[in-house]
Amino acid sequence: MSILKVKNLFKSYGKIEVLKNFSLDIDSTEFVSLLGPSGCGKTTVLKIISGFISPDKGTVFIEDIDVSNTPPEKRNTAMCFQSYALFPHLTVEDNIKFGLYEKKIPKNKSKDLFEEAIEHLSLSQELGKYPNELSGGQQQRVALGRALVTRPKIILFDEPLSNLDAILRGTVRNEIKRIQSEFKLTAIYVTHDQSEALSISDRVLLMKEGEINQIDTPEKIYDNPISYFSASFVGISNIHHFKNPKKLENNFIEVDTNVGKLKLFYKNNLTDKNIYVSWRPEKAEVGEQRENTLFGRIKSIAFQGAFTELEVAIKNIKIKIITQKRGFKINEEIKFGIKPENLLVLEQS
Amino acid sequence: MIAKSLHRILFISMIIIGVIWIVVPFIMAILWSLVDPAEPWTVDLVTPPVMSFYRWTYMWESSNLKDALFNSYLLAPTVSIITLIFSIPTAYVFGRYNFVGKEIAKLLCLLPLVTPYFVLSVFLTATIISFGLSEYRVAAIVLAHAVMFLPYAIRIMTVGFEQVSQEHIDAARDLSATTFSRWRVAYFPALRPAFFASILIVFIQSIEEFAVAFILGSPTFVTIPTLLFSTMGQDFVRPNAAVLSLILVVPNVVLMLFLEKLLRTANPAMISGKGLK
Ligand SMILES: Nc1ncnc2c1ncn2[C@@H]1O[C@H](COP(=O)(O)OP(=O)(O)OP(=O)(O)O)[C@@H](O)[C@H]1O
Ligand SMILES: [Mg+2]
């Protein structure tokens, strides 16, 4: 069931177009990440959904009700801020109870909600403390507790982990995911960290310059990037510009690239926008292959334990390969190949 | 090495300046206030030959000191509070909104600082008399002080409003806070240091102000500075002046130390709500 619909949002600041025809439809209990480079409009989307910014054009529906003109205090959304924005002179308990009190939830009901939140977030030891007496991870949990204790329809996260160190980030990320599924929350999660987005989401919305570039499950985003941007922004890809596509039989085509001729499998019709072919480094198979065999010289070797990363130069073009094989030498000539079905055709955008 | 010795030089000069500017005058004032009328303190003596509290009791009983104290300590707090309240709307706009010409508007707000106080007070006296409002001369002093010291309050409160975190305001709104709650959790904690600083500055300015209090208030309304100047003007008795200036200054120092302590408890981590330990 759709809980949030955002239709055709436009937003500009002066001459800068921040959002260009942005639409989105999210189901109840879904976890959707907004992933994109800095300045692409992620925070703007969240602020429009929560009501802090009104779009120039477009509508926001929560449970099929048009809330475009509803102020933030009347919308049933809750925001988790990047800096947590805990009220510094209120204790943990008062911070968490703030929303219960302001929303005038009856005493006995709010008591149950509060206790449930405390238990799920393991905050019972910290209730009397002030925010500046807590660790970063604890502050994050309090912020989460404050946002979810009133059971909002939608919870919005704006880069909630960016103030934590790398180790804590992993733990808190898993906690957010656990709590989201335990409380059956619908979540929109803004991040510019791709591994965060891939690991935590039901769907990833990849944004570029105020537009949706691709929206898909994490696996599909990784395995089937549709654009130059998604192939290069999520994970590592080798991307080649191609020319002179020739149709072969059984939906194979052959193209000219700067590393030589490549044969690939592509069912759809090529358009003018399809000008790149890409492949993931781990799809390369070292050794002579039946098709698409390439020659290159090893320029760098980085052994990573489970796998080895190679940088290979074909003429002057650098290519990345990830392989389980070992025993490479710098400047050694190697052969490797990519199966036609592992070569992807990308759009220019 | 250089930084260290520079640090030392600065520290020592600070001590020397502090002694010349604060400690010496203070000690001199205290000594002068203790001079007994029986024996004058002549230049050849390091300390007064006979010391007593005669001057203190004398000033307390014979002059208008009681009235002056009462008036001054009624005037200064009233002015500080009124000035603070007057400054809030302007400071709110300066601190929370961006608009074209904001910097010019800020400068214009400082204009009263360059108007000579004598001009202002002569103008106000003329106005009061021509409107037949002489009974309201105390209110006029309060008003004049508020106008004169408003620039300080506005400047300080503007900085205070700039310190309020938009995320705290947004977080409160997001949790359906009423306007009052929004002020309680987002504005007041961040504004607290500015409140105190503004009250302190205006209080001290008002309690030490002479021109307006003298021109508008005399002869019926005495404050400590007007009493001080008239004591000095008529027949200058140094020990009496010393008593008055100590009375004028000591409460200010106490107040400053007290507010300084309050300000220190408002630490930045408490304001931002961030700050990892
Ligand atoms: N109040 C504003 N006035 C003018 N421009 C703004 C304003 N708010 C945002 N912008 C601009 O809108 C664009 C999108 O901003 P937004 O905050 O949505 O980016 P973001 O994707 O959240 O970036 P980040 O990852 O850095 O947080 C940016 O170019 C920003 O400079
Ligand atoms: Mg942002």
| Whole-angstrom Cα Rg for chain B | 23
Which residues in A lie closer than 8 A to residue B276 (C-beta atoms)?
A: 135-136, 139
Contact A217, A197 (CB under 8 A): no
Q: Which amino acid is residue B86, in one-letter code? A: F
Whether residues A99 and B176 touch (CB distance < 8 A) is answered with: yes
Whether B171 is in a domain gets the answer yes
Percent of chain A with pLDDT over 70: 100
> What is the rounded CA–CA span in Å between residue A336 and residue A236?
18
The sign one gets for the Cα dihedral A283, A289, A293, A297 is positive
CB B206 within 8 A of CB B198: no
Alpha-carbon distances, residue A91 vs A87, A139, B39, B121 (angstroms): 8, 11, 64, 50
Average pLDDT rounded to a whole number, residues B253-263: 78
* Amino acid in position A205: L
Residues whose CB is less than 8 angstroms from the CB of residue A260 and which lie 6 or more positions away in sequence, other chains included: A294, A314
Q: Name the minimum distance, in Å, from the CA of B158 to any CA of chain A.
A: 21
The predicted structure's pLDDT at residue A331? 93
**B175 in reach of chain A (CB within 8 A):** yes
Cα distances (Å, whole numbers) of residue A109 to A105, A114, A115, A151, B41: 7, 9, 10, 12, 80
User: Do B274 and A139 count as a contact with CB atoms less than 8 A apart?
Assistant: yes
What pLDDT band is residue B1 in, cutting at 50, 70 and 90? low
pLDDT value for B273: 45
Query: Ligand 1 within 6 A of A13 CB?
Result: yes
Closest by CA to A345, choosing from A260, A272, A250, A248, is A272
| Ligand 1 pocket, mutate which of A16, A189, A207 (most atoms under 8 A from CB) | A16
Q: How far is CA B158 from the centre of its chain?
A: 18
Q: Where are the beta strands (DSSP E) in chain B?
A: none
The token pair at A274 is 């399809």
The 10 Å CB-count burial string (b at 16+, else e) for B200-220 is bbbbbbbbbbbbbbbbbbeee
pLDDT of residue B277: 34
Contact assignment for A132 to B171 by CB distance below 8 Å = no
Q: What is the rounded distance in angstroms from the CA atom of residue B175 to the CA atom of residue A78?
A: 7
Give the ligand at the shortest distance from the Cα of A208: 1
Q: A85, B167: Cβ pair inside 8 Å?
A: yes
CA distance A88 to B189: 8
Is pLDDT at B267 greater than 60 in this prediction? Answer: no
Indicate left, alpha or beta for B98 from its phi (over 0: left) and psi (-120 to 50: alpha). Answer: beta
Which ligand 1 atom sits closest to the C-alpha of A210? 14
Average pLDDT over residues A190-210: 93
Asked if residue B219 has a cis previous peptide bond (ω within 30° of 0), the answer is yes
In-domain check, residue B27: no
Nearest protein Cα to ligand 1, atom 26: A38
Domains of chain A: 2-228 (3.40.50.300), 236-346 (2.40.50.140)
Q: Return the CATH number at B112.
A: 1.10.3720.10
Mean pLDDT of A65-90: 92
What is the secondary structure of B32-98 as a DSSP string?
HHTB-TTS---TT-SS-SSB-SHHHHHHHHHSSHHHHHHHHHHHHHHHHHHHHHHHHHHHHHHHH--
Q: What is the pLDDT of residue B234?
A: 67
Cβ atoms of A325 and A343 closer than 8 Å: no
With cut-offs at 50, 70 and 90, classify the pLDDT of residue B120: confident
Residue B79 buriedness (CB in 10 A; 0-12 / 13-18 / 19+): buried
- Within a domain: residue B12? no
Q: Please identify which residue in the block is written with the tokens 């799809």.
A: A283
The Cα A184–Cα A180 span in angstroms is: 6
Range of weakest confidence among A134-138, A295-299, B56-60:
B56-60
Provide ipTM, 2 decimals.
0.80
* Cα of A310 from ligand 2 centre, angstroms: 35
- Determine the average pLDDT of the residues in B167-183: 94
Q: Whose C-alpha lies nearest to ligand 1, atom 22?
A: A43
Residues of chain A neighbouring B270 (CB-CB closer than 8 A): 88-89, 130, 132
Q: Does B270 touch chain A (CB under 8 A)?
A: yes
Q: Let me know if residue B54 belongs to a domain.
A: no
Question: Could you tell me if B36 and B51 are in contact, meaning their C-beta atoms sit under 8 angstroms apart?
Answer: yes
CA of A177 to the centre of ligand 1 (A): 26
Residue B118 falls within a domain, yes or no? yes
pLDDT of residue B265: 61
Work out the pLDDT band at B62, boundaries 50, 70, 90: confident
d(Cα B116, Cα B118) in Å, to the nearest integer? 5
Q: How large is the C-alpha radius of gyration of chain A?
A: 24
Task: Specify the number of domains making up chain B.
Answer: 1
The answer, for B18 touching chain A at a CB cutoff of 8 Å, is: no
pLDDT, mean over chain B: 85
Asked if residues A238 and A319 have their Cβ atoms less than 8 Å apart, the reply is yes
Q: Which of residues 155-184 of A touch B (CB under 8 A)?
A: 163
Q: Cα separation of B40 and A349, whole Å?
A: 95
Inter-chain touch B189–A135, beta carbons under 8 Å? no
Say what the pLDDT of residue B131 is.
83
B273 touches chain A (CB under 8 A): yes
**Ligand 1 touching residue A205 (CB < 6 A):** no
Q: Which residue has the higher pLDDT, A287 or A12?
A: A12
Residue B215 belongs to some domain of the structure: yes
CA distance B106 to A313: 62
What is the pLDDT at residue B50? 82
From B171, B178, B270, residue closest to A81, measured CB to CB: B171
The helix (run of H) or strand (run of E) holding residue A286 is strand A285-286
Answer yes or no: is the C-beta of A207 below 6 A from any ligand 1 atom.
no
**Ligand 1: which of A19, A35, A43 to mutate, judged by most atoms within 8 Å of the beta carbon?**
A43
Average pLDDT over residues A10-28: 95
Q: Which of A121-130, A279-288, B1-10 has the lowest mean pLDDT?
A: B1-10
What phi and psi values does residue A322 have, to the nearest 5 degrees?
A: -120, 125
Contact B174 A79 (CB under 8 A): yes
**Which residue is closest in CA terms to ligand 1's atom 12?**
A18
Helix (H, G, I), strand (E, B), or coil: what is residue A2?
strand
Q: How far does CA A2 lie from the centroid of its chain? A: 20
Q: Given a cut of 50, is residue B274 above it in pLDDT? A: no
Looking up tokens 């105020």 gives: A210
CB of B268 less than 8 A from some CB of A: no
Report if residue B40 sits inside a domain: no
Q: Buried b vs exposed e over B20-59: b needs ≥16 C-beta within 10 Å?
A: eeeeeeeeebebbbbbbeeeebeeeeeebeeeeebbbebb
Report the mean per-residue pLDDT for chain A.
92
Boundaries of domain holding B207: 65-272
Q: Using one digit for the tens of pLDDT, what is the confidence trace for B200-244?
A: 889 988 988 888 888 888 778 888 888 888 877 767 778 888 888
With respect to residue B43, please indicate whether it lies within any of the assigned structural domains: no
3-state class (DSSP) for residue A100: helix
Average pLDDT over residues A96-103: 94
Question: Which amino acid, B45?
Answer: L
Residue A19 Cα distances to A4, A151, A157, A212, A319, angstroms: 18, 29, 19, 10, 35
